[in-house]
């Protein structure tokens, strides 16, 4: 496999620990990990993997991903080096690996509203579009103008209306298209008011979410008419530990790594919560975190 990618040595590593790239801080080694800096490198890596029959995954900041303890026996492509951002008045174009929180902070400094909800979300722009990230009553679909994506080595443009956005989903979840960048249209406003709203959202996150521990964000999607954290708490599971993983005492829809958790610990806690909530309330919780094996 290494020989197949020998001309990518500048951006590729062997036996790379996935735990180093996961906000949950778990995961075994990837046989190969690549860090492309532009669309051409990303496209070339995907093409080479296809030629060699090598499994590959596209990963941003791995903020809602759970890597297996056994690692990944293929090529993990991390897009975090693709983070260029360009502004044109109230419009902004950001590459897939750009920090969503960083983009929100930059917009605030420019007195542009629309991304205040994103403060504190640890993911990338690509991941945010992929899952239609949202919080505090807003989501990416509210400000997205278009995205560019890669399909079979060709770059295409997709307008906002063609994204099939829904709750924590988009058209990208049902295709093999690879998001390259996204364009957003923001709204000029009072810089102080925008900054105050962003600060309020960030303070709310700190007070309600266990940001002091490694985690992968909300474990479960919100079922209709209910909140997963409340259901898990009512089921008596708040604070439950398996190995080094714990259902957070601060917010029961978060599983935290207390220092030596494994992916299997986290999966067992996830399954325990699903079974208990279904048994008591008849509601099957659907995971928001993506498990990579």
Taking the CA atoms of residue 132, residue 135, residue 137 and residue 142 in that order, the dihedral angle to the nearest 10 degrees is -30
Instruction: Please tell me the distance from the alpha carbon of residue 76 to that of residue 16, in angstroms, as a whole number.
Output: 9
Measured distance CA(258)–CA(286) in Å, rounded = 24
Count of CA atoms in the C-beta half-sphere (13 A) of 191: 7
The H-or-E segment that residue 269 falls in is helix 263-281
**Under 8 Å between Cβ of 61 and 123:** yes
Q: How many domains does the chain have?
A: 3
**From 168, 181, 246, 276, active-site residue:** 168
Quick check: 267 and 242 in contact, CB under 8 A? Answer: no
- The crossing angle, in degrees rounded to 10, of helices 100-109 and 191-208 is 150
State the catalytic residue, choosing from 218, 246, 248, 276.
218
**Does 218 qualify as catalytic in the annotation?**
yes
288 assigned to active site? yes
Q: Is residue 223 part of a domain?
A: no
Question: What's the predicted TM-score (pTM) here?
Answer: 0.93
The catalytically annotated residue of 16, 148, 183, 288 is 288
User: Could you report the per-residue pLDDT of 83-132, keeping only the tens digit for each?
Assistant: 999 999 999 999 999 999 999 999 999 999 999 999 989 999 999 999 99
pLDDT of residue 161: 98
CATH number of the domain bearing residue 232: 3.90.78.10
Summarize the confidence of residues 179-191 as an average pLDDT. 97
The CATH number that applies at residue 89 is 3.30.465.10
Terminal Cα-to-Cα distance of the chain (whole angstroms): 18
Range of the domain at 267: 228-292
| 178 lies in the same domain as 270 | no
Give the pLDDT of residue 293: 87
Q: Could you confirm whether 246 is annotated as catalytic? A: no
What's the pLDDT score for residue 179?
98
Do 96 and 200 belong together in one domain? yes
Under the banding of pLDDT at 50, 70 and 90, the label for residue 68 is: very high
Please check the confidence at residue 134 and state whether its pLDDT lies above 80: yes
Does 49 lie in the same domain as 89? no
Domain membership flag for residue 217: no
Q: What is the pLDDT of residue 3?
A: 86
Check which CATH number belongs to the domain holding 50 and give it. 3.30.43.10
Check if the beta carbon of residue 271 is closer than 8 Å to that of residue 255: no
């Amino acid at each position: 496999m290494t020989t197949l990618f020998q001309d990518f040595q500048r951006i590729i590593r062997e036996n790379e620990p996935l735990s180093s790239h996961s906000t949950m801080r778990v995961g075994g080694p990837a046989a190969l990990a690549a860090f492309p800096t532009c669309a051409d490198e990303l496209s070339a890596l995907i093409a080479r993997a296809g030629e060699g029959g090598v499994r590959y995954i596209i990963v941003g900041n791995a903020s809602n991903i759970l890597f297996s303890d056994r690692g990944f026996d293929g090529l993990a492509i991390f897009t975090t080096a693709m983070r260029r951002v360009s502004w044109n008045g109230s419009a902004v174009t950001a590459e897939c690996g750009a920090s969503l929180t960083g983009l929100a902070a930059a917009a605030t400094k420019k007195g542009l509203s629309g991304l205040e909800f994103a403060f504190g979300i640890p993911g990338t722009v690509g991941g945010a579009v992929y899952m239609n990230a949202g919080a505090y009553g807003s989501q990416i679909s509210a400000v997205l103008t278009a995205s560019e994506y890669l399909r079979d080595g060709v770059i295409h443009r997709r307008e906002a209306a063609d994204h099939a956005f829904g709750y924590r989903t988009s058209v990208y979840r049902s295709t093999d298209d690879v998001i390259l960048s996204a364009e957003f249209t923001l709204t000029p406003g009072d810089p102080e008011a925008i900054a105050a709203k962003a600060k309020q959202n960030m303070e709310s996150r700190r007070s309600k979410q266990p940001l002091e521990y490694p985690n992968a964000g909300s474990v479960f999607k919100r079922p209709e008419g209910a909140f997963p954290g409340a259901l898990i708490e009512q089921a008596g599971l708040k604070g439950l530990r398996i190995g080094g993983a714990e259902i957070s005492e601060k917010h029961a829809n978060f599983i935290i790594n207390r220092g030596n958790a494994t992916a299997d610990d986290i999966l067992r806690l996830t399954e325990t919560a699903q079974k208990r909530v279904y048994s008591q309330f008849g509601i099957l919780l659907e995971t928001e975190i993506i498990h990579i094996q």
